[in-house]
């Protein structure tokens, strides 16, 4: 029963949940990928639970369970490798290769991905920056307010 529920969950997430449509999830061993609530994946991202690097030499696959916590954002073209756990409330930067575990509440980026900041420190950094602005998600639902903030009446949103 537990396996059927997990398969139904995966099918729902893969085909009906827009947050998963941007992410390629390992099709060879999808049961080895566990994804928490409120996961958001940017376009081109991938979660791999197997590596075929040894197949030609030894006939063996490397398989490792991948666990993605709750409230995780996976940036564009980021790749999560087999055997990795990403804790709750994490943000993974674009084009990152996550080869090691990322603790909860952290921002990680790079190839290989390294922890750069805590989420709180990153948020404070964004507040102080003159280049970006923090916008509440409820504001994002109101296109007129975004155009007002961006200062461009022709902005495509």
Strand ranges of the sheet holding 85-86, from the earlier edge strand across to the other edge: 33-35, 66-68, 85-86
The angle subtended at Cα 75 by Cα 146 and Cα 120, nearest 5°, is: 75
The reply to whether 12 belongs to the active site is no
Domains of the chain: 2-118 (2.160.10.10)
Q: How far apart are CA 46 and CA 143, in angstroms?
A: 30
Q: How far apart are CA 23 and CA 136, in angstroms?
A: 24
* Catalytic site residue from 35, 50, 74, 107: 50
pTM: 0.76
Count the alpha carbons within 13 Å of 21 in the hemisphere toward its beta carbon. Answer: 5
Residue 131, token pair as written in the block: 């280049």
Per-residue pLDDT tens digits of the chain, which is 157 residues long: 466 656 555 655 555 454 456 788 888 888 899 999 989 999 999 999 999 888 899 999 899 999 999 999 999 999 999 999 999 999 999 999 999 999 999 999 999 999 999 999 998 888 887 777 776 766 656 666 666 666 655 544 4
């Amino acid at each position: 029963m537990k396996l059927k529920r997990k398969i139904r969950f995966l099918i729902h997430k893969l085909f009906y949940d827009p947050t998963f449509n941007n992410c390629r999830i390992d099709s060879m061993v999808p049961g080895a990928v566990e994804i928490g609530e409120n996961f958001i994946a940017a376009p081109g991202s991938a979660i791999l639970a197997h590596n075929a690097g040894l197949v030609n030499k030894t006939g063996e696959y490397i398989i490792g369970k991948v666990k993605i916590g709750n409230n995780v954002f996976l940036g564009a073209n980021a790749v999560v490798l087999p055997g990795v756990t990403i804790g709750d409330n994490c943000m993974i930067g674009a084009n990152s290769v996550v080869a090691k575990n990322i603790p909860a509440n952290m921002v990680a980026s790079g190839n290989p991905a390294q922890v750069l900041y805590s989420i709180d420190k990153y948020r404070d950094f964004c507040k102080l920056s003159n280049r970006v602005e923090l916008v509440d998600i409820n504001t994002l639902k109101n296109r007129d307010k975004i155009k007002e903030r961006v200062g461009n009446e022709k902005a495509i949103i």
